[in-house]
């Protein structure tokens, strides 16, 4: 057991615990001003927006954005963050009471947002002027952002939850705060900008093979795939579909899975053998990061 005198400084405590397998040290996330950047080379640079929203609920047709944060980063070909071009956050009056559980989660009150507005023209220009937008659980943020800014429909997005294989990289789970703890960091707030800063640290994390999470995420996200729909699948085969990784699309009432183009023939063979020997041909639609997560 590591013995630490009560008079020890923080540095001495950290040093004493560094080699103890029963103790894990968590450090607070860096501020944007102190965020560690990689050296800038001579190659091409991509501008990427990291975005998060807080809303009054999960129903895009009835709920509203109350807090939005965007940080635009500059990224080189290797997926290294070499610059922070801009950062901004805005509160927005939803013109409806903020539910108590949302206030408890975010700390945002009705008084704090009363009369607050977002400069929508400026926000749309900012988000339209980057190469891709990234959010954690992007389908949620995309729905609210495109509802607020219809001009962004069809722009490229990547999802840091689904477009990167966290378990394969040695992580447990995919929740933002839990992932952050696994790289030895913590953040105490649950607001839009705090979550963006958390995500920045995760994206900059270096994997065992040397590249960053961001580099792997972008490579996965910009690779075209196929949406394979289990057209006319019998109801009693839903367990087999779910076990194979299919998800239920309630709006279109169909089970579907996203696969590589080269895997379509094998998937159709499995579908015909295990799910529906006869019936319509399964629907297969190309997907890029301009359609994905919608």
Report if residue 1 sits inside a domain. Answer: no
Q: Is the pLDDT of residue 201 over 80?
A: yes
* Rg for the chain, CA atoms, rounded: 22
Q: Is the pLDDT of residue 260 over 80?
A: yes
Cα separation, 229 vs 232, in Å, equals 9
Range of the domain at 168: 11-16+24-221
Q: Hunting for tokens 């954690």 — which residue is that?
A: 136
Residues 148 and 115 in one domain: yes
Q: How confident is the model at residue 16 (pLDDT cuts 50, 70, 90)?
A: low
**pLDDT at residue 24, as a whole number:** 85
The fraction of the chain above a pLDDT of 70, given in percent, is 94
Q: Which of 193, 221, 249 is the last residue of a domain?
A: 221
Q: Which of 164, 193, 221 is the last residue of a domain?
A: 221
Q: Which of 221, 239, 269 is the last residue of a domain?
A: 221
In tens, the pLDDT along 80-97 reads 999 999 999 999 999 999
Residues 262 and 164 in one domain: no
Residues 208 and 98 in one domain: yes
Q: Report the b/e string of 214-252 with b at 16+ CB within 10 A.
A: bbbbbebbbeebbbbbbbebeeebeebbeeeebeeeeee
| DSSP for residue 265 | H
Report if residue 4 sits inside a domain. Answer: no
Residues 245 and 207 in one domain: no
Of residues 45 and 2, more confidence is placed in: 45
Cα separation, 91 vs 116, in Å, equals 6
**pLDDT at residue 283, as a whole number:** 94
Residues 121 and 153 in one domain: yes
- Which pTM does this prediction carry? 0.89
Residues 132 and 275 in one domain: no
Q: How many domains would you assign to the chain?
A: 2
Q: Hunting for tokens 């999960």 — which residue is that?
A: 58
In tens, the pLDDT along 27-85 reads 999 999 999 999 999 999 999 999 999 999 999 999 999 999 999 999 999 999 999 99
Q: Is the pLDDT of residue 234 over 80?
A: yes
Residues 57 and 201 in one domain: yes
């Amino acid at each position: 057991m590591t013995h630490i005198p009560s008079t020890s400084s923080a540095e001495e405590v950290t040093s004493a615990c560094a080699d103890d397998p029963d103790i894990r040290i968590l450090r607070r996330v860096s501020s944007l001003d102190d965020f560690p950047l990689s050296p800038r080379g001579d190659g091409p640079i991509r501008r990427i927006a990291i975005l998060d929203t807080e809303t009054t609920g999960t129903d895009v047709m009835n709920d509203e954005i109350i807090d939005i944060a965007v940080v635009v980063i500059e990224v080189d070909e290797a997926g290294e963050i070499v610059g922070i071009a801009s950062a901004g956050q805005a509160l927005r009056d939803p013109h409806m009471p903020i539910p108590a559980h949302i206030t408890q989660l975010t700390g945002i009150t009705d008084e704090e947002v009363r009369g607050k507005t977002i400069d929508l023209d400026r926000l749309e220009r900012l988000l339209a002027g980057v190469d891709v937008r990234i959010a954690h659980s992007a389908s949620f943020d995309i729905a609210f952002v495109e509802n607020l800014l219809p001009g962004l429909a069809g722009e490229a997005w990547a999802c840091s939850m689904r477009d990167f294989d966290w378990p394969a990289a040695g992580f447990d789970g995919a929740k933002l705060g839990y992932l952050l703890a696994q790289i030895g960091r913590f953040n105490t707030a649950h607001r839009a900008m705090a979550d963006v800063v958390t995500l920045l640290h995760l994206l900059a994390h270096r994997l065992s093979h040397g590249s960053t999470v961001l580099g792997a995420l972008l490579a996965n996200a910009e690779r075209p795939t196929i949406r394979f729909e289990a057209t006319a699948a019998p109801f009693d085969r839903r367990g087999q579909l779910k076990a194979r990784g299919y998800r239920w699309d309630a709006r279109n009432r169909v089970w579907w899975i996203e696969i590589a183009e080269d895997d379509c023939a094998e998937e159709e063979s499995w579908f015909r053998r295990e799910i529906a020997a006869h019936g319509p041909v399964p629907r297969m639609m190309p997907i890029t990061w301009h359609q994905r997560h919608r």
